Structure 1
Amino acid sequence: MSHAVFRLRAERLARSTRPFIARGSKSPRCPRCRVLPSHCLCALQPMVASDVGVCLLMHDVEALKPTNTGWLIADVVTDTFAFGWQRTQVESQLLTLLADERFQPYLVFPGEFVEPQSRVVSEVCPVPGKRPLFILLDATWTEARKMFRKSPYLDRFPVLSLAPEEISRYRLRRSRRDDHFCTAEVAAMCLGLAGQTQAAEALDRWLDLFSAHYLAAKRGLPVPSAG
């Protein structure tokens, strides 16, 4: 079964003029979970309900990276939407989503980089008749800051600034700072703030399980125990 990130990846590959070569790309991968077939975890994917939406704005090649965790969000949150970000163009479907009266959008970004500070909120405030829509900039930190500055169509939305008490558990890409969280970790925090505890916990577990299977396959280790 495909989802928004799966489809965005297919669209991005279709318009590529040369192949995207990721580390370990010569090894065959399961097209659904992106792990070597010997360590496939598709049968373990969680099935939970959630009452929020997630809008992923993905920098150019993010959807092509086998370690991308926006993919994991789309596995868990049914109403996940994914769009490729471009500096000079905005997809009409993205603008339609942002104007959808069923949703209250929140742009998720560190408040220390936001002006004016009046845009910054630390809570998800229920709006009658609307569901939260969390807009996540799926990119490296440097790319995300550029996306934040150069996306004026997002300026009208409140900025949800998270204040996590723990450090990142993500192990598949390097970061110089422990307080830089991967996209799936950020989404799980947003789900928790929105009162979607079951979905938040399921996404956290799914990230941990994906990371364990991915690293075991990469290192030639046995399939991790499901327990």
Structure 2
Amino acid sequence: MKMSCRYCPKCGKAHKACICPLIVSLSSEIELIILQHPTEVSRPLGTARILQLSLPDAHCFTGEDFTRHPQLNQLLSEPDTRHYVLYPGEGAISVNDVPAPQQKTRVILIDGTWKKAYKMWQLSENLHGLPRLSLPEELKGNYQIRKAPREGCLSTVEAGYHLLSVWQPAQDFSPLLSCFEQMIQFQMSHMSPDVRRRYPSSS
């Protein structure tokens, strides 16, 4: 428990890297459900927390297999509510090709490395019957200091930003990206020059 004083109790990051002053509370008709792999909880560069703090109606659950997760299943069973899961691949439909929802809608985001997200998807049988969404392939992420398995991979907060922006174009969700980018720049500024040189896009 002695370690706890080093971290912000709200955002969970070290006090010197606290993102709370960067958070802007945002209104969204679309609710997000974040399924977070346990290894993501304490990552200093984790971005799901930005969504949680910025969107009052967002839900976040931690685990690997959500098949029998009581809170998630309760949400999924709510009547007159449409649920999607953002998970690319065969069978997924681009968010650009889906009309903006006219009823209460939630979208599930899987927060983890691609390998871990794939395992979470496989294990969580209650997700398999939900319609799947994908984001446009041309989108490029700005996660400069975390390796991605291929071009076009987005952080969880970037995925949430693009999804919400497509379906709610009249609303400004740019504070999500602003917070994310400032968090990245803070981390870059505390790296040694030798380490920074590994990330050409930071120059």
Specify the TM-score bucket, using the shorter chain as the normaliser: 0.7 to 0.9
**Residues in 1 aligned to 2:26 and 2:9: alpha-carbon distance in whole angstroms:** 22
Find the aligned partners of 1:92 and 1:26 in 2 and give their Cα distance.
29
User: Shift of the alpha carbon at 1:125?
Assistant: 3.0
- Given that 2:67 and 2:126 are in contact with CA atoms closer than 8 Å, whether structure 1 keeps it comes out as no
Name the counterpart of 1:152. Answer: 125
The aligned counterpart of 1:167 is 140
- SS at the partner of 1:170? coil
Deviation digits for residues 83-102 of structure 1 (CA, Å, limit 9, x no counterpart): 12333852111100112235
The CA distance in 2 between the partners of 1:218 and 1:29, in whole Å, is 20
1:104 aligned residue: 82
2:45 to 67, 71, 74: 67
Residue equivalent to 1:47: 25
- Percent identity, aligned pairs only? 24
The one-letter code matched in structure 1 to 2:99 is C
Equivalent position of 1:198 in the other structure: 171
Q: Which runs of 5+ in 2 are unaligned?
A: 194-203
RMSD: 2.8
Alpha-carbon distance between aligned partners in 1 of 2:112 and 2:99, rounded to the nearest angstrom: 27
Aligned mates of 1:101, 1:145 — CA distance in 2:
28
In 2, Cα distance between equivalents of 1:29 and 1:88: 28
AA in 2 matched with 1:28: R
Cα-to-partner distance string for 1:159-213 (whole Å, 9 max, x where unaligned): 0011142321012322242311111111111101211553532211121122222
* Larger CA deviation: 132-141 vs 159-168: 159-168
CA distance in 2, matches of 1:26, 1:173: 25
Contact 1:191 / 1:197 at 8 angstroms: preserved in 2? Answer: no
Paired residue for 2:99? 125
CA contact 1:36–1:217 (8 Å) conserved in 2: no
Q: Secondary structure at the match of 1:107?
A: strand
Query: C-alpha separation between the residues in 2 aligned to 1:79 and 1:147?
Result: 23
1:138–1:183 contact (8 Å) kept in structure 2: yes
Note the alpha carbon deviations across 1:94-136, whole angstroms, 9 max, x for none. 100112235311110113xx3xx3xx322343444x2221101
Normalised to the residue count of structure 2, the TM-score between the two structures is 0.80
Q: Which amino acid letter does the alignment assign opposite residue 60 of structure 1?
A: P
Query: SS at 2:173's partner residue?
Result: helix
